[in-house]
Amino acid sequence: MPHAMDRPEDAEAVNTLRVGVLRLSRRMRHLSVDRTLSLAELSALGTLARCGAMTPGELARKEHVQPPSMTRILSLLQDRDLVALQPHPEDRRQKLVVATDQAEEMLAASRAQRNAWLAGLADELDEEEWAALRAAAPILHKLAHL
């Protein structure tokens, strides 16, 4: 299979995708329900909500941060009652981090707000563009998780 940058039109598509994803992401970040949380804190909460309880070390690995950074993030989230620590069922030396109901409600409100905003943008697309976006959505999701 050819590399995505072998042909000029592919290189241009990659560049256009990068710019579009960055700009959309930047605009969505400003829609946060709770603007006092950092991106790292929101990301950690989202990972806990999506993946369930895990140790601080597992969460640090999933978030691609060093354990001391995750310790600081979790301390801030715990102070705001957005995460709780529970005993590990198999290793008494470990703790599991879980998102609280308050965090789940905040994340749900944030998702609803961002989805509504994005749907409003999609309303500006014609049917052919909207069909292409629907077809591309699973591919973009896959790229985000590779």
Distance CA 120, CA 81 (A): 33
> For the packed helices 101-122 and 8-29, what is the interaxial angle rounded to 10 degrees?
130
DSSP 33-94: S-TTS-HHHHHHHHHHHHH--B-HHHHHHHHT--HHHHHHHHHHHHHTTSEEEEE-SS-TT-
Cβ-Cβ contacts under 8 Å for 82 (sequence gap 6 or more): 41, 45, 99, 100, 102, 103, 106
Q: Is residue 121 scored above 80 in pLDDT?
A: yes
Rounded average pLDDT over 112-128:
92
Which pTM was predicted?
0.76
* Contact (CB, 8 A) for 83 and 97: yes
Which pLDDT value is given to residue 64? 93
Rounded average pLDDT over 120-142:
93
Rounded average pLDDT over 121-129:
94
Name the helix (H) or strand (E) containing 109: helix 101-122
* 44-101 per-position pLDDT tens digit: 999 999 999 999 999 999 999 999 999 999 999 999 999 999 998 888 888 999 999 9
Q: Is 2 helix (H, G, I), strand (E, B) or coil?
A: coil
Which pLDDT value is given to residue 27? 87
* 2-42 per-position pLDDT tens digit: 676 778 888 898 899 999 999 998 888 777 667 788 889 98
